[in-house]
Structure 1
Amino acid sequence: MRIVRLANFVTVHTGGLRTALRQLGRGYEAAGHEAVLVIPGRRYSDKMTKQGRVITLPSAPLPRTGGYRVLAGRRELIKLLDGLEPDRIEVSDRTTLRWTGDWARRRGVRSMMVSHETLAGLLGVWGMPKRDALADAFNRRTAEAFDTIVCTTSFAAEEFRRIGAPNLVEVPLGVDLKLFHPGKMDVAVRARYARPDELLLVYCSRLSAAKRPELAVDTVAALRNGKVPAVLVMAGDGTRRTALAYRGARLPVRFAGHISERPAVAALLASADVVLSPGPVETFGLTTLEAMACGTPVVVNEQSALPEVVGDGGVAVQGTADAFAAAVSKLMERPRVERREAARTQAEKYGWPKSVGGFLRAHEAAPAPATSPASALIRPAVPSPTYLNGVPAPRRMNNPGREAGVDEAGAARYA
């Protein structure tokens, strides 16, 4: 079946959402389904990738968001969706794309919304009063609009349980256990940032208010005040970059910027002594799981969902610099082999195949029957929409299970 996935707030930089979208798409394709991802970008593009077909629609950036874009043209997106004729839609944005649940219902298409954040938590970060009441009202409308609501942790699901959403499903995300592995530890990478007698801490996430990166800087200050020779590498970029540079001006804080290559991220995480995840509203924390897969223990904010994920692979504490510094020291008291094995063992409980299976069950989509070698060369065609002045023209397209024919252009695209 054709699973069309819609996502907003996806940047060109690799992040947790982009990683999840990529891995789920690959899993859907491997299971015999047809994955189509629609995201915003600078210009229109339509290409086949390992995660399936990826369509980028021209979208303007949102001011003061660090490069986020949204699919704002509802009319254009409706035309595209009508042309794609999905069997399922999967939406990774419960604000600007909530209307797509109603679109799907009117057309008899099953819909699923994936909650990648806690709305009540974000409203708290933004200082909104009566945040629970506002979140409940918004979440109630969201739950009514979609057939299924998927949350990746009990922490994220709690706000939907509070309103009694009957269509709630929990499915954890996963980690690439081959790419993120203790064997990725690189002596040269470590030496680039720290001396042999120094403690190397890493923060790897967006530099935005919701992630609380300033707590990582303050943790280094607390450790240094306690005569612990700690240094911090901040891998990522965002709106807080300048403020953090001022905050850490007198401290050994190195800004690595955005690291685009995933193997380089793995090498940095594997070469660290401890990875810090200070965000209070994290609903899963893929980077935290990737760090543990690399054998690196983590310190996380106990207000977030991460205590569910971390287990024995790290420590969850209050969101204060002193608490984080004490947790780092506590981890370093454990024998190196013991703490690294505990982190890796915890990460091995999460794998993308298991996560993909859970998402497909939530879609009520089973793996497709195996195809013969001859038929596997050609897949039902989904022609690119015709664009006139950047607007997709409506057209009918073939859909698996509805039409068996494949034109020559379609066969060439999928051969």
Structure 2
Amino acid sequence: MNIPKTSKPRIVIVGGGFAGISVIKQLRKEEVQIVLFDRNNYHTFQPLLYQVSTAGLEPDSIAYPLRKVFRKHADFHFRLGDVTSVNPEKNELTTSIGTISYNYLVIATGTRTNFFGNDQIQKNSMPMKSVPQALNIRSLMLQNIEAADITSDLDKRKRLLNFVIVGAGPTGVELAGALAEFRKGILGVDYPELDEKEMQVHLLEGADRVLAPMSAYASKKSKAYLERLGVQIHLNTIVESYDGTTATTKNGKTFASETLIWAAGVTGNPINGIHGEALLDRPNRYKVDVFNTVHGFKNVFALGDVALMETDAFPKGHPQVAQPAIQQGKQLGKNLKRLFKGKDMKPFSYLDKGSMATIGRNKAVVDIKNLHFGGAFAWFIWMFIHLWFLVGFRNRVITFFNWTYSYINYDRAARLIIRPFKKT
């Protein structure tokens, strides 16, 4: 592998998400060599993936080149490739483009979609964890609407215009709201021969309420907002099978649909090579101490979604969202600087800044400690926070103008089928 030799400590980071970026930013002025690996050459702002999938934003609004983020960092090297395994005894990482040694390894690989062992659902449903997957959903949605517009088969039209979303967490709720607003603002204008009522949005949830991780207030409000938009909510409903045209639930319901979007859960995305007590099988997360050191290893760290730090406040680990990843990455960067100076590392303490979800135009819910509110004010807070955390000034400007245009015109400008999707 073509990485310059160095006498400085080499820190290898796997994953260019929130956690990986936060670590590197802290080490900008340190006498270290940083090597970042990712299978994509860009950072993805995952909280807005649903807007790409529902034609609200183009991918370049929420993605930013990793090389550009760190081009002013001395001795920083980005390599595009898949990491296949780690050998902690030899301090070596094996990738699709070669093997590299390290002094410190930071694993920030995030999560992957959890299908709970259901191969049929995995094969036929649409996940949404990456930009390509979001584009697949967008293409399939638009292709199905186009096909519905020309078919005379009423059963086929129903399947094409039935959109089923499984999982009523923040992703599922935001997707359902965006699809419902697409129906309200776009369908009747672009497709005058289709009746708006023919497009159905179903949100299926195994629990007894939507947004289960958030407050009861947020759950009640978001449910009311979704129902006002015409989303059909099915609680205590677990999908058992989906063959590509029909979804069947454990309580006997069936949904005829050509589009089933799976937002029912995630699992950690570990690297082969670290096993035993360090890797907890069921959540696929590395067990780490308060310094994010992987159990049993002094120079291997795990951050964010793939790390499980058990504390009194979070006995099952921190939530798998952006803020713990950002804060852990920042703290690890500071701790590595302390380590290089011979000082003791400081334990990580999570500052819960709250949770939020948007359901549509002027409709959002926000939980901040004991404060719970919804409506237009919450929506503006949600919009400001998401703009603030986008990487890159250009991304913020483009996203802001897209949102402003959509708000004024009730329109979505990104409804282009650039790369047609074909079901296998």
* Both proteins in one fold, TM over 0.5: no
Higher helix residue share: 1
Higher relative contact order, chain-length normalized (CA < 8 Å, sep 6+): 2
More strand by share: 2
Shorter-chain TM-score: what band? under 0.3
Normalising by structure 1, report the TM-score.
0.28
Q: TM-score scaled to structure 2, two decimals?
A: 0.27
